Amino acid sequence: MRDATGAVQSALVLGGGSEIGLAIARRLAGERTRRLVLAARAPERIEHAAEELRRGGAETVETVAFDADDTEDHERFVDEMFERDGDLDLVLLAFGVLGDQDEAERDPAAAVAVGRTNYLGAMSVLLRVARRLERQGHGTIVVLSSVAAERARRGNFVYGSSKAALDAFSQGLADSLEGTGVDVMVVRPGFVRTKMTEGLEPAPFATDPEAVADAVIDGLRRGAHTVWAPPVLRWVMAAMRHLPRPLYRRVAARS
Ligand SMILES: NC(=O)c1ccc[n+]([C@@H]2O[C@H](COP(=O)([O-])OP(=O)(O)OC[C@H]3O[C@@H](n4cnc5c(N)ncnc54)[C@H](OP(=O)(O)O)[C@@H]3O)[C@@H](O)[C@H]2O)c1
């Protein structure tokens, strides 16, 4: 249960090794979140991050095994998370893969793998999380979508379409949960300098994980349903969305 000031007391990060996810976790720990659970494919590799969060103010930080692609195991995983140590106030969906667009166009199996993780894995775990939060009667789901969800680009339409599906699903999930005490906040970052984008040319308005974390914490305080990081992207993408296709192709090819 959130405390008297509305601060989140317990949070689960799905994709616990994500640099954006960890930046948000650090901010939560600094804002009095007492219990954090980091769920990752290789939990042993994020022990150092858990230790940093303990030093940053969290009382308990656990690392647990979770694979978004292993949808057969999601029921057990979610039940265990909610039966372990009481309520979860916040569940952050931070996992995702960028994939390689050229490879995905050559090898459809590579494209399917991106869709499986970013969309099918997310849908599978979020539906189960939503059911448990609803039963609990309160909670917030934060979903890391992307500006790429707003309008597909030639250069990364496989990733972009997987995020568009995730984004639409999350909005619908939010609507389905209205009146239950459970909220869904969709976060649309632009280019963020993390290991996911390492080696890529930064896009305009590139930012870092800490700035995304600031936007998320601000969004949680305001009870926002959608957060852009940086906020100016809301207006940039509103314009991009309405550009005629031939013009969009030329502009997007350069961004
Ligand atoms: N960086 C950007 O420019 C940007 C922009 C907009 C949105 N986003 C979104 O923000 C989220 C976080 O990205 P990031 O920049 O923090 O990248 P990141 O540091 O590479 O984090 C992505 C995380 O996803 C995890 N993951 C991948 N496949 C998984 C699976 N099958 N099961 C469980 N975990 C899995 C990875 O785990 P491993 O450590 O095991 O590989 C990694 O920890 C992603 O959803 C991404 O699409 C990123």
- Mean pLDDT (whole number) for 59-72: 97
Nearest-CA residue for atom 24 of ligand 1: 95
- Rounded Cα distance, 102 and 173, in Å: 32
Q: Is residue 239 part of a domain?
A: yes
Q: Is residue 2 part of a domain?
A: no
The enclosing domain of 147 has a CATH number of 3.40.50.720
Give the contacts of 108 (CB within 8 A, at least 6 positions apart). Answer: none
The answer, yes or no, to whether any atom of ligand 1 lies below 6 A from the CB of 42, is: yes
Q: What's the pLDDT score for residue 252?
A: 85
* Cα→Cα distances 47→43, 44, 148, Å: 7, 6, 31
- Mean pLDDT (whole number) for 32-51: 96
Nearest-CA residue for atom 19 of ligand 1: 18
Q: Is residue 1 part of a domain?
A: no
Nearest atom (ligand 1) to Cα of 191: 3
Res. 86: pLDDT tops 90: no
Angle at 217 between CA 76 and CA 14, to 5 degrees: 20
Q: How far is the CA of 196 from the centre of ligand 1 (A)?
A: 7
SS3 179: coil
pLDDT digits (tens, 9 = 90+) for 112-124: 999 999 999 999 9
Our count of domains for the chain comes to: 1
pLDDT digits (tens, 9 = 90+) for 156-199: 999 999 999 999 999 999 999 999 999 999 999 999 999 999 99
- Rounded Cα distance, 88 and 142, in Å: 13
The CA-to-CA distance between both ends of the chain, in Å, stands at: 43
The answer, yes or no, to whether any atom of ligand 1 lies below 6 A from the CB of 208, is: no
Tokens (6 digits) for 146:
């992307």
Q: How far is the CA of 28 from the centre of ligand 1 (A)?
A: 19
Provide the CA 183 distance to its chain's centre, in angstroms.
14
- Rounded Cα distance, 105 and 235, in Å: 31
The answer, yes or no, to whether any atom of ligand 1 lies below 6 A from the CB of 170, is: no
Beta bridge partners of 16: none
The answer, yes or no, to whether any atom of ligand 1 lies below 6 A from the CB of 96, is: yes
For residue 83, what are the domain limits?
10-254
SS3 187: strand
Name the H helices within 116-254.
122-136, 157-176, 209-222, 233-242, 245-254
Nearest atom (ligand 1) to Cα of 159: 47
Q: Is residue 85 part of a domain?
A: yes
Q: Is residue 215 part of a domain?
A: yes
pLDDT digits (tens, 9 = 90+) for 18-35: 999 999 999 999 998 999
